[in-house]
Structure 1
């Protein structure tokens, strides 16, 4: 198999794997021992920046390191894992901060079924102001029940 196909699979596989990493981290770390950083995302303050924004740096660090070590000499598998993490981070930012929370007013509210589904799932996550009893910890892939509830009326 050609190298570019292998590298594409590594990048796409990492992108998909990152949804699981994000789900696990959100449920067990952000709503666990690092709730101190995530709390202000559920209990809004008037500030534009949140302590929760620190997770951007936490998630970006492995990508940066993988780009560094994966680009020494010829590009290797580490570079493409770093690329998959970066692409997931961009997608997460666009869906979470731009589309759902509208922290950046780049797009108007969409009536697209996928966007309605993701917004509904995230809304159900945010109905819990505390760290316990949450639901829908993923971001890009929503549970089937949210797809069924976002049918166009």
Structure 2
């Protein structure tokens, strides 16, 4: 195993947060609004057109892993793993924890997770594609984290 592989996976994972932010702000709330709209303006059914964006990251991840393995290019393989790891984290945080599309990970009691939910709620207060804020997922604006820490401390002191 190459010593740099896990480092490349972790670096790719963190770069993906900024890629996701840019994609969300400039594509989903831009030309791709047709697919993203039903995520802000809830329509009936389990699946959303917004789920299409999964392919934007799944295909490059799969291609990096598959073509990297076929050509012994392990840099591409580890980058593909990093993209896949971010996709898995996105699924757990966004679809499972924040939007509760599945019935697990509901009772996480920590300021960081509370801040993530708050920032996402602020993002969703805008039903249209304009005037959005908080486009990232894992990096939370400091004001929401500070607010969550205060709420958490108050909650703990009452118990």
TM-score class normalised by the smaller sequence: over 0.9
Unpaired segments ≥5 residues, structure 2 = 155-159
Show the 5 A alignment for 1:4-153: 4=3, 6-74=4-72, 76-151=74-149, 152=152, 153=154
Q: CA RMSD in A?
A: 1.2
Deviations 1:117-151 (A, max 9, x none): 10001000000100000100000111111101112
Instruction: Note the C-alpha offset of 1:69.
Output: 1.1
Q: Secondary structure at the match of 1:131?
A: coil
Aligned to 2:2: 3
Aligned pair count?
151
| TM superposition score normalised by structure 1 | 0.94
Distance 2:48 2:72 in 1: 39
Deviating 4+ runs (over 4 angstroms): none
| TM superposition score normalised by structure 2 | 0.91
